[in-house]
Amino acid sequence: MDALLDVTEVTPGVHRMALPLGIHGVPTVSAYLLRDDGVDGVGGDTLVDCGIATGEIDPCDVLVAALGAAGSALERIARLVVTHAHIDHFGVAGEVVRRSGGRLWMHRAADLDLVKYADPDEAVDNRAIMLADHGLYGPELTASSEGLRDWIPVMPSIGRPDVRLAGGERFTAGGREWEVLHTPGHSPGHVCLWSAADRLLCSGDHLLQVASPPVTFERGFERDPMGSYLDSLDRVAALEPELVLPGHGTPFRNGARRAASIARGKRVRLERVHDLVAERECTVTEITAMLFTGELTGAQRHFAMAEILADLAFHEVRGTLERARRPDGVYLWRTTLEGA
């Protein structure tokens, strides 16, 4: 297993551990170890994100090996900070805190995802109803609704936070003082960790270099997730991070430039969605077909429709687009007088 490990000290006191995923085409998730040897070598380390179950006998086998390669162990983890409660970042959180005795830190808005994991059948039903409301039917609806079930087997238990964050909390680890930044958008409970002294940002999925993070609409979550994400990008860009430690992929420089680039791309898509609706009234399923002309898997279709819904919600909140139900119950989107 050691030959397969990718563990690197990316900056003094901080190790990146690339943990395998292999679900929906995502190869790895990046967890980070913030070493804290304390007094006389006795201290407690901080782990940021933790990956999914990887072994039938020991669900944490790869994580345990990665921690060992970084000079730590599960028993040394005093604090697990989960940037957001998506399963790839959160899957073995319950196992980590049970075996380490450490405390699980998560934003209080992560409760929305925890409820979903506690009753995945209801979560799948809610997703199916949402997609059907916007024009998706038949086998495509089934395939696009059930992606959550692909992830459940890699989460052996549901981690319950000991510390429920609001943003603004501070702690010391890895020889640095870190501040918790609440950065909603990709997830309502997303947080980043910020070390102001060396302008180091542990970004989770808020800033990625390999892709533009998806911003998806889910019923009962945020009314305007895209607006939240763009605001969060602006706040992080203003900090001008020198080095970004992302949740997928390797660290990269100049976080402000990357934040601005992602924001530009999101705003281009917002304008495109508005223009399509302005040309003619249409459903989300129709908009998806216009924007994505190739074959989509069920998971890809869900992400595409859910981000288009986030775009439409952005415009609806600002009064430029509105929806109305057709006689068959499907929502039709159109411009308002203000947005025409």
Q: Give burial (CB, 10 Å; 0-12/13-18/19+) of 165.
A: buried
Run of H or E residues at 14: strand 14-23
With respect to residue 111, please indicate whether it lies within any of the assigned structural domains.
Answer: yes
3-state secondary structure 200-256: EEEEECCCCCCCCCCCCCCCCCCCCHHHHHHHHHHHHHHHCCCEEEECCCCCEECHH
Query: Residues 32, 49: contact at Cβ < 8 Å?
Result: yes
Q: What pLDDT tens digit does each residue of the chain (340 aa) get? A: 454 689 999 999 999 999 999 777 789 999 999 998 754 444 689 999 999 998 888 999 999 999 999 999 999 999 999 999 999 999 999 999 999 999 999 999 999 999 999 999 999 999 999 999 999 999 999 999 998 887 888 999 999 999 999 999 999 998 899 999 999 999 999 999 999 999 999 999 999 998 999 999 998 899 999 999 999 999 999 999 999 999 999 999 999 999 999 999 999 999 999 999 999 999 999 999 999 988 999 999 999 999 999 999 999 999 999 999 999 999 999 999 766 6
pLDDT for the residue numbered 1:
45
How open is the CA angle 42-44-50, to the nearest 5 degrees?
145
In a domain, 340, yes or no: no
* Token pair belonging to 333: 């989107």
Range of the domain at 251: 2-335
Which residue in 319, 328, 297, 206 sits closest to 256, CA to CA? 206
Q: What is the pLDDT of residue 277?
A: 98
Q: Compute CA distances 15 → 21, 216, 245, whole Å.
A: 19, 30, 10
Residue 249 counted as domain residue: yes
R_g of the chain computed on alpha carbons: 21
The pLDDT, as a whole number, for residue 3 is 45
> Does 112 fall in a domain?
yes
The CATH number of the domain holding residue 30 is 3.60.15.10
Distances (CA, A) of 329 to 317, 332, 338: 22, 9, 25
Whether 13 is covered by a domain: the verdict is yes
Total number of domains in the chain: 1
Torsion sign over Cα 142, 145, 149, 151:
positive
Take residue 152 and report the two structure tokens written for it.
């459940």
pLDDT of residue 38: 58
Q: Is there a domain that residue 99 lies in? A: yes
pLDDT reported for residue 119? 93
The predicted structure's pLDDT at residue 337: 73
